């Protein structure tokens, strides 16, 4: 049975939601943001239901910290709150929440949303396998990269560019291709791409596989034996 962590400073809400979910999931309860964060790290739930308005550490901060921790950054987070304005929803999603449900809600909808998120997460896990090339290892689920077993800290876009090259070895990747695949909805220039690639190169300079520039064309990750 999947384990769901409920985080809400209102104990009546905690009890009510736990009853809604009891036939479907194992529930663990936290009555504050700080306690919820500690329990998420310790108990590794399959999903977190997170209230927004809590004293000391609100749901936004909890979500941020969950996404910063290697052990919890891939755990799905659904925010449950009476704060349903557009700005609040956008903020929650931007911080890494996977869904945002306004109170009050029906038990059937809540269970359906949880099931949908858990199915999606399971599909993502199966699809995102660790990539190894030369002395480098990339874990898409944890957004971590290691060279010679030493972690390399990349920005999110540097990580996605590196992953893209690893998934397209020995192919000349034009800047326009990177722009279209990694920035489909943004106004980004070739210079922006070059800057990110240059920063990536500096951080992975110990990588045994060369990332070469093909002048006038783009880039190529030259992997022998493929």
Q: Which neighbouring-strand residues pair with 112? A: none
Which of 74, 107, 127 is the C-terminal boundary of a domain? Answer: 127
- Would you mind telling me the total number of residues written for the chain in this entry? 226
Q: What is the mean pLDDT of residues 36-49?
A: 94
The CATH number linked to 196 is 1.10.10.10
- Mean pLDDT for the stretch of residues 145-161: 92
- pLDDT of 173: 92
CA distances from 99 to 76, 80, 166 (A): 9, 9, 30
Residues 160 and 110: their CA atoms lie apart, in Å, by 32
- Mean pLDDT for 130-135 is 90
Q: Which residue, chain included where needed, has tokens 């070739």?
A: 190
If one counts the domains in the chain, the total is 2
Are 212 and 108 contained in the same domain?
no
pTM: 0.57
Separation CA 176–CA 188 (nearest Å): 10
Q: How far is 194 from 213, CA to CA, in rounded Å?
A: 10
119, 155: one domain: no
- Reference 28, options 40, 41, 16, 20; nearest CA is 40
Q: 99 and 177: one domain?
A: no
Position 128 pLDDT exceeds 80:
no
Reply yes or no: is the peptide bond before residue 104 cis, omega within 30 of 0: yes
The CA distance from 207 to 201, in Å, is 9
| C-alpha distances out from residue 174 to 79, 132, 154, 179, 218, Å | 40, 23, 22, 9, 4
In three-state secondary structure terms, 144 is strand
- Residue range of the domain that includes 176: 131-221
CATH code of the domain covering residue 106: 3.40.50.2300
pLDDT at 35 over 90: yes
Is residue 226 domain-resident?
no
Which band of pLDDT confidence, cut at 50, 70 and 90, is reported for residue 179?
confident
């Amino acid at each position: 049975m999947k384990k769901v962590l409920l985080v809400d400073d209102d104990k009546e809400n905690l009890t009510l939601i736990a009853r809604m979910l009891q036939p479907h999931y194992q529930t663990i309860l936290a009555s504050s943001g700080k306690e919820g964060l500690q329990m998420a790290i310790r108990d590794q739930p399959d999903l977190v239901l997170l209230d927004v308005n809590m004293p000391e550490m609100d749901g936004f901060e909890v979500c941020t910290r969950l996404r910063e921790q290697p052990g919890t950054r891939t755990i799905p987070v659904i925010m449950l709150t009476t704060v349903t304005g557009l700005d609040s929803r956008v903020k929650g999603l931007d911080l890494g929440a996977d869904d945002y449900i306004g109170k009050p809600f029906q038990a059937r909808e809540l269970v359906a949303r949880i099931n949908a998120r858990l199915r999606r997460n399971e599909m993502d896990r199966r699809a995102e396998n660790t990539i190894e090339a030369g002395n480098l290892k990339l874990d898409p689920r944890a957004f971590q990269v290691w060279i010679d077993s030493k972690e390399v800290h990349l920005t999110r876009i540097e990580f996605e560019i590196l992953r893209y090259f690893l998934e397209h070895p020995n192919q000349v990747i034009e800047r326009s291709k990177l722009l279209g695949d990694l920035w489909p909805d943004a106004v980004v220039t070739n210079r922006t791409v070059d800057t990110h690639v240059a920063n990536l190169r500096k951080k992975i300079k110990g990588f045994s596989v060369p990332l070469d520039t093909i002048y006038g064309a783009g880039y190529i990750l030259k992997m022998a034996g493929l």
